[in-house]
Homo-oligomer: A and B are copies of this chain.
Amino acid sequence: MKITDMIVTPIAFTDPPLLNAAGLHAPYALRIIIEIKTDADINGVGEIAGGSAVLASLHQAKTFLLGMDPFERNKIRLKIEEGFSAIKDTLNTGYAPKGVANRMYSAINVALLDIVGKAIERPVCDLLGGRVRERADFSAYLFYKYEGAGGPWDFGHNPEAHGWHKEKEAAALDPEGVVAQAKAMCKEFGFKSIKLKGGVFEPQVEVDTIKALHSAFGDKTPLRIDPNAIWSLETSIKYATQLEPYLEYYEDPCKGQEAMAKLGKSITIPRATNMCTTSFAELPSAIALGSEDIILADHHYWGGMEAVVQLGRICSVFGRKLSMHSNSHLGISLMAMAHLGCAVPELKYALDTHYPWQSDEVIKGGRIKFEDGSIYISNEPGLGVELDYQELERLHQNFLRCGITERNDEIEMQKVVPSWTFAAHNY
């Protein structure tokens, strides 16, 4: 089986005005969809966050991918590491994984596994050692937000909407708003645990939001808060006292492995990260310092699905636990995450996902349904998705029209609050 083509399509899909430490989500989020074709008439798909460096690098990688076998993933990874490790990423979200190589390979890796799964008529999880659980549980992912749902509707609000659709469009700028959002989201999708994206308001407001969520949902619903490293070490320690009774884990309250390591000496809440430890290269110092208790895996950052399996082993060896991070994404990534959730023994927490915030889709059949907060993996070969070329083209036209080529939440925030800067926003 030989690779005969790779189609790389940048897309933009509607994204609500979600607030985070880096600023504000634009009305469109960028993503790149790849489709790798083979001479066996089997195609595979992958998805990765957009950006000009990854886009250009993926186009370049095509030249050496042609003629290679989708089973040759080690060789392809080494070639990409060799050719692209020096290229810096252009993501601007207040932090960024280092280099484009891991991110571009992650999309390729998913597409190759999709091909192999289809070729051998097995779901992708069976290429990762097989299921250890039948379903991947996901967590509700709450955001403070402005009114609107992104894209052409960004400045409007549909008065006819109800349930989750109403809350998705509504503003949520205080604890009550977030509780209403949580109730609607959990009712719609069946999530059993909740994550709050923090780092937006004064810490006490966010701590009060966690308390309000606990009042509304009770002890049986694990809660997480993620201030995206915008709090100082002192602030992180100070609010840990209030948060301790309620939190499942405390995600990146402060910045960097050293501060996170010091935090660990002062608090008892497990510390999680997808910011201070986001690549294999950062693991030796993370282990030496003890900068986290839980690593939030993300196959887009770590270099593909097999890399997350390896990260799982590393976590079990070095006494870390494993959960999963998310960025705005569509169904290809959701299914890749779900296959990992079923296959990786160490992935025992409910996984993060932005999926409920999106409305568009590039796969046939449209939006994937959660069952009781989970995605069940069937025995369908590969990832279990097929591209909807009409929708792909529509979202590609969105990309061409929307004028956004890099994610930049700071600029987006300045459109609303002109004086706002990322650096000035620090508690």
Residues of chain A touching chain B, judged by Cβ–Cβ distance below 8 Å, are 69, 71-75, 77-78, 119-120, 122, 126, 128-132, 280-281, 283-284, 287-288, 306-307, 309-310, 313-314, 316-319, 343, 345
A319 nearest CB neighbor, chain B only: B284
- CB pair A130–B78 under 8 Å, yes or no, is no
5 contacts between A and B (CB under 8 A): A74-B131, A74-B345, A77-B129, A288-B288, A313-B313
CB distance from A194 to the nearest CB of B (A): 28
A280 and B126 form a contact (CB under 8 A): no
Cα–Cα distance between A75 and B132 once the two chains are bound (Å):
5
Separation of A343 and B73 alpha carbons in the complex (Å): 10
Alpha-carbon separation in the docked complex, A122 to B122 (Å): 14
Smallest beta-carbon distance A297→chain B, Å:
14
Q: Is the CB of A72 within 8 A of B318?
A: no
Given known A-B contacts A74-B343, A287-B287, A130 and B69 have beta carbons under 8 A apart: yes
* Distance A78 CA – B346 CA, assembled complex (angstroms): 11
Closest 6 CB pairs of A and B: A74-B129, A72-B130, A120-B120, A310-B313, A71-B126, A73-B129
Residues in B whose Cβ lies below 8 Å from that of A75: 130-132
Cross-chain contact A313 with B280 (CB below 8 angstroms) = yes
Neighbouring B residues of A131 by C-beta, 8 Å: 72, 74-75
Q: How far is the CA of A71 from the CA of B343 in the complex (A)?
A: 11
**Chain B minimum-CB-distance residue to A68:** B130
- The residue of chain B having its C-beta at the shortest distance from the C-beta of A316 within the complex is B280
A352 CB to nearest B CB, Å: 22
Q: How far is the CB of A94 from chain B (nearest CB, A)?
A: 26
| Distance of A310 Cα from B308 Cα, bound (Å) | 11
Closest to A129 in B: B74
CB-defined contacts of A128 to chain B, threshold 8 Å: 74
Say yes or no: A130 contacts B310, CB within 8 Å. Answer: no
- Per the bound structure, the CA–CA distance linking A78 and B306 in Å amounts to 18
Instruction: Give the chain B neighbours of A130 by CB distance below 8 A.
Output: 69, 71-75
Q: How far is the CA of A389 from the CA of B129 in the complex (A)?
A: 30
Residue among A71, A72, A74 having the largest count of chain B Cβ atoms under 10 Å: A74
By a CB distance below 8 angstroms, the chain B residues around A287 are: 284, 287
Take A78-B132, A78-B345, A132-B78 as given contacts and tell me if A317 and B280 are in contact as well, using a CB distance cutoff of 8 Å.
yes
Evaluate contact between B74 and A317: CB separation under 8 angstroms: no
Chain B residues positioned under 8 Å from A77 (CB to CB):
129
The residue in chain B whose Cβ has the minimal distance to the Cβ of A120 is B120
Q: Which of B126, B284, B319 contacts A318 (CB 8 A)?
A: B284
Q: Which residues of chain B come closer than 8 Å to A78, judged between CB atoms?
A: 132, 345
Give the shortest distance, in Å, between A48 (CB) and chain B (any CB): 20
- Quick one: closest B residue to A75, CB to CB? B132
Q: Which of B74, B281, B284, B310 contacts A132 (CB 8 A)?
A: B74
CB neighbours of A319 from chain B (8 A): 284
Residues of B near A71 (CB, < 8 A) are: 122, 126, 130
Residue among A120, A281, A310, A345 with most chain B CB within 10 A: A310
- Report how far A283 CA is from B74 CA in the complex, Å: 24
- Contact A317 B284, beta carbon cutoff 8 Å: yes
Complex CA–CA separation, A126 to B71 (angstroms): 6
A166 vs chain B, min Cβ distance (A): 42
Contacts A280-B313, A284-B319, A317-B284 given: A306-B74 contact, CB under 8 Å?
Answer: no
Nearest-neighbor residue (CB-CB) of A317 within chain B: B280
- Hey, which chain B residues are within 8 Å of A316, CB to CB? 280
For residue A283, which residues in chain B have a CB less than 8 angstroms away from its CB?
317-318
